[in-house]
C-alpha cells in the first residue's frame, strides 16, 4: 500500500512540474512573439497595398488614398517586420516603419495617445528600427479622417508605423513563404514598371 502511495505522490509531483513547465512555455512564447520578429527586411521605392480578402474588396479609391498619404511623407525606405501574433494560430502582425520629418503637421488628424509600456510589440519594432524608444515614452495613433481598412498608423517622434494584424492559411515556416506573404501588402514600384 505504501508503495502505491509513493507512486501516486511522485505522479502528482510529475503532473505539477509538467503543468508548470507548460504554463511557463506559453508565457515564454508570448514574450518571444512580442519582441522578436520571425522575418525582417528593408524595401525602397515601395507601394503599400490594401489587401483583398474573401470578405472585403479593395477599392481603387482607397488604394490611391493610402498611397497619397504615404507619399505625402516622402518616405523612400521602409523597414518591414513580421511578428507572430499567436503561437497556436497562423496570425501575424506586420509592421512597416519609415522615417519622416520631425516637423510634420498632424493637426488635421484626430489622434489618440498611448504609452509604449502598453504595447510591447510597438516598443520592440521601434527598438529594432533604431528609434531608441524608452518604455515610458508616448506615441500617437492617427485616426480620422484616415480609413485604410486594416492599417493602423502610429507616430513616434520622427518615425511612422503602418501596422496590421492578419492571418495566413498555414504557418509561415521559411523565408520564401514570408516574402510571399509580405508581398500581399507591399510591392516594389520598379516591379510595377516592368
Give the Å distances, CA to CA, from 109 to 16, 17, 50, 140, 153.
53, 52, 20, 11, 11
Largest interatomic CA distance in the chain: 81
pLDDT reported for residue 191: 42
Integer Cα distance of 67 and 48 in angstroms: 7
The answer to whether 13 and 21 have CB atoms below 8 angstroms apart is no
What distance in Å separates the CA atoms of residue 98 and residue 78, rounded to the nearest whole number? Answer: 5
Residue 123 has pLDDT above 90, yes or no: yes
Q: What is the pLDDT of residues 142-174, one digit of tens each?
A: 987 776 667 899 999 999 999 999 888 899 999
Of 57-66, 68-77, 184-193, least confident by mean pLDDT is 184-193
Give me the pLDDT at residue 193, please: 36
The label of the residue with cell 486594416 reads 150
Close Cβ partners of 59 (under 8 Å, ≥ 6 residues apart): none
Lowest mean pLDDT among 76-80, 112-116, 146-150, 181-185: 146-150
Lowest mean pLDDT among 72-76, 121-125, 147-151, 162-166: 147-151
DSSP 81: E
Amino acid at each position: 500500500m505504501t508503495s502505491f502511495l509513493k507512486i501516486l505522490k511522485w505522479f502528482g509531483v510529475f503532473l505539477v512540474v509538467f503543468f508548470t513547465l507548460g504554463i511557463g512555455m506559453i508565457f515564454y512564447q508570448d514574450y518571444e512573439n512580442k519582441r522578436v520578429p520571425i522575418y525582417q527586411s528593408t524595401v525602397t521605392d515601395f507601394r503599400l497595398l490594401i489587401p483583398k480578402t474573401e470578405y472585403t474588396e479593395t477599392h481603387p479609391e482607397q488604394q490611391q488614398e493610402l498611397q497619397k498619404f504615404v507619399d505625402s511623407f516622402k518616405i523612400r525606405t521602409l523597414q518591414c517586420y513580421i511578428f507572430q501574433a499567436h503561437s497556436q494560430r497562423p496570425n501575424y502582425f506586420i509592421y512597416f516603419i519609415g522615417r519622416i520629418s520631425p516637423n510634420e503637421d498632424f493637426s488635421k488628424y484626430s489622434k489618440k495617445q498611448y504609452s509604449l509600456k502598453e504595447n510591447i510589440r510597438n516598443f520592440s519594432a521601434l527598438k529594432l528600427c533604431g528609434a531608441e524608444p524608452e518604455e515610458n515614452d508616448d506615441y500617437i495613433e492617427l485616426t480620422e479622417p484616415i480609413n485604410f481598412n486594416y492599417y493602423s498608423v502610429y507616430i513616434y517622434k520622427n518615425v511612422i508605423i503602418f501596422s496590421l494584424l492578419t492571418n495566413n492559411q498555414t504557418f509561415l515556416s521559411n523565408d520564401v513563404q514570408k516574402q510571399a506573404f509580405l508581398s500581399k501588402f507591399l510591392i516594389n514600384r520598379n516591379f510595377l514598371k516592368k
